Amino acid sequence: MPRRLFIAGNWKMNTNAAEAVKLAKAVVEKLGKVQEMDIAVCPPFVYLAQVAAAVAGSRIAVGAQNCFYENNGAFTGEISAAMLKDVGCRYVILGHSERRHVIGEMDELINRKVLKALSDGLDVILAVGELLAERDAGTTLEVVSRQVKRGTEGVGKAEMARVTIAYEPVWAIGTGRTATPQQAQEVHAMIRSLLAALYGNELAQQIRIQYGGSVKASNAKELLACPDIDGALVGGASLKAEEFAGIVAGGMK
């Protein structure tokens, strides 16, 4: 079976309540009936419930941008996977480069979150990607495979089927500088062969690998045409419904 494309909008720390609902409604209006691929929006925590209500009854799913690995208790400022389920999330993005490099999250912490999110029923988007210095030093494949391996440590086969890997070269995020389809495809193919080594070829062929980093309507088509690119994790361009819809259109056969 061919892999279904999966396009997710990562709104990051943007919008206010009114804007979040307005954007969610505009996404539903343009994309709420799309059958050919999976689509999700990932607003800030505080607007999740309102966005979930705004997309209810459509094919648009909701994801969060992070979560913690404990159920509840004295963890000031943290949000559990169960809480995210409770407000209508299907997905959670973990290991985003801004969490790795701005907040300082390490592979081990990300792995604990991945395990907890999966066991509590959230589907995970595990984001990985090299820094510019790492690419220049020729260590891209090494860095990315370490992030994939450590991030998924202890994840069993059944749960791995609910993981999407998002390859996002850090130098391409929010910079307007996209990886070329060839650069992206090379890393995606490496990730898939790593997944095959870890989980067997059959499962590796089913796991979706999104590309992220300055994806927009004008470059989506050529990226999504690559054999191992199974969707996009979209930041800036997901804040405009029109542009986001243009990316989805780029994935239509």
Among positions 20, 234, 241, 247, the unique one binding ligand PGA when judged by CB under 6 A: 234
Among positions 235, 243, 245, 251, the unique one binding ligand PGA when judged by CB under 6 A: 235
What are the phi and psi torsion angles at 234 (to 5°)?
A: -115, 125
Sequence-distant (≥ 6) Cβ neighbours of residue 136 within 8 angstroms: none
Among positions 121, 154, 156, 174, the unique one binding ligand PGA when judged by CB under 6 A: 174
Sequence-distant (≥ 6) Cβ neighbours of residue 143 within 8 angstroms: 130, 131, 134
Give the nearer residue to ligand PGA in terms of CB position, either 99 or 199.
99
CA distance 228 to 188: 6
**Binding of ligand PGA by 169 (CB under 6 A):** no
**Binding of ligand PGA by 209 (CB under 6 A):** no
CB of 72 to ligand PGA, least distance (A): 28
Could you tell me which stretch among 61-69, 110-118, 188-196, 229-237 binds ligand PGA (CB under 6 A)?
229-237
Catalytic residues: 96, 168
CA distance 197 to 144: 15
Question: Per DSSP, what are the bridge partners of residue 123?
Answer: 91
Give the nearer residue to ligand PGA in terms of CB position, either 102 or 158.
102
Among positions 6, 7, 10, 151, the unique one binding ligand PGA when judged by CB under 6 A: 10
The structure tokens listed for 159 are: 């749960």
Among positions 233, 245, 247, 248, the unique one binding ligand PGA when judged by CB under 6 A: 233
Q: In whole angstroms, how far apart are CA 211 and each of 15, 68, 98, 187, 238?
A: 24, 24, 16, 10, 14
Residue number with the smallest Cβ distance to ligand PGA:
235
Give the nearer residue to ligand PGA in terms of CB position, either 69 or 167.
167
Sequence-distant (≥ 6) Cβ neighbours of residue 97 within 8 angstroms: 127, 129, 168, 170, 173
Footprint of ligand PGA on this chain (CB under 6 A)? 10, 168, 173-174, 212-215, 233-237
